Amino acid sequence: MAVFGLRPAGAAVELPLRTLGPNGSHGHWSVLARRRKSERRTAAALCPAHALPCVVRLTRLSAGELDDDNLRGALKGVRDGVADRLGVDDRDPRVRWEYGQAKCKRGEYGVLVEIMAANGPESTQEGDVAVGCGGPYRKQRTRLTGPHRAK
């Protein structure tokens, strides 16, 4: 799968999930729990298995942007599902998690999951994520999160 001419490293899949930030999605706790459980099951079912150690890059595709702490909360269900697929707990030190987001047209959404070997040349330091939206009709606008931001 090519993302605006870039070839994602390792195994990559785009999940058809609309993720919401934990602070902006007020609702009954059972509705939110059901949503997270659904995200977790989808990620576990659709993500490819990979050998450990590895780097997992989660990129939220949406028309809106979240700040760093809301981004991690929005992708928590996906992170748990990928960890389930890898057969580890999400705090296992053999898995490094990277987060990013890309802005897309209104009405388009998803989560791009890339899994690659931890010592490969394409792996980056935590937070150094710059991936454009997948698909031919999505605008490319990337945003870095973490300590290293584009200037």
Contact residues for 128 (Cβ-Cβ < 8 A; gap 6+): 98, 144, 146, 148
> Are 132 and 3 contacting, i.e. CB atoms less than 8 angstroms apart?
yes
Helix (H, G, I), strand (E, B) or coil at 1: coil
Spatial distance between the Cα atoms of 100 and 131, rounded to a whole number of angstroms:
7
130 closest CA partner among 118, 116, 145: 145
Q: Three-state SS string across 58-73, please?
A: EEEEECCCCCHHHHHH
Spatial distance between the Cα atoms of 148 and 125, rounded to a whole number of angstroms:
9
DSSP 6: B
Tokens for 45, please give them: 């079912």
Express each pLDDT in 13-57 by its tens digit: 999 999 888 876 677 888 888 999 999 999 999 999 999 999 999
Q: Is 3 exposed, middle or buried (0-12, 13-18, 19+ CB in 10 A)?
A: buried
pLDDT in tens, the chain (151 residues): 334 433 555 688 999 999 888 876 677 888 888 999 999 999 999 999 999 999 999 999 998 899 888 999 999 999 999 999 999 999 999 999 999 999 888 888 999 999 999 875 554 444 434 344 444 333 334 444 444 333 3
Q: Where are the domains of the chain?
A: 11-143
pTM above 0.75, yes or no: no
CATH of 11-143, one of 1.10.287, 2.40.128, 1.20.120, 3.30.1330: 3.30.1330
> Are 66 and 101 contacting, i.e. CB atoms less than 8 angstroms apart?
yes
